[in-house]
Amino acid sequence: MVRLNRTSLISLILTLVAVVLVGCGGPSATTTVPPTYSDLQITRINDYLSDIEKNAERFADLEASIAKADWQEAGNIMRGSLGEMLMDMRALNRNLLAKDQPTPTALTRALTEDFLKIDQAADLNSVPLAQEGFRDATADFNAYLNSLPKLS
Q: Which domains does the chain have, with CATH numbers?
A: 39-147 (1.20.120.290)
Average pLDDT over residues 24-38: 70
pLDDT at position 31, please? 64
The reported pLDDT for the residue numbered 21 is 64
**What was the pLDDT predicted at 10?**
72
Q: What is the per-residue pLDDT for 6?
A: 72
Candidate from 12-16, 64-68, 95-99, 112-116 with smallest mean pLDDT: 12-16
- From residue 94, alpha-carbon distances to 42, 70, 90, 143 in Å are 12, 34, 6, 18
What's the pLDDT at 16? 65
Output the pTM of the full model.
Answer: 0.76
Helices (H), the chain: 6-24, 39-56, 59-67, 71-79, 81-95, 102-123, 127-147
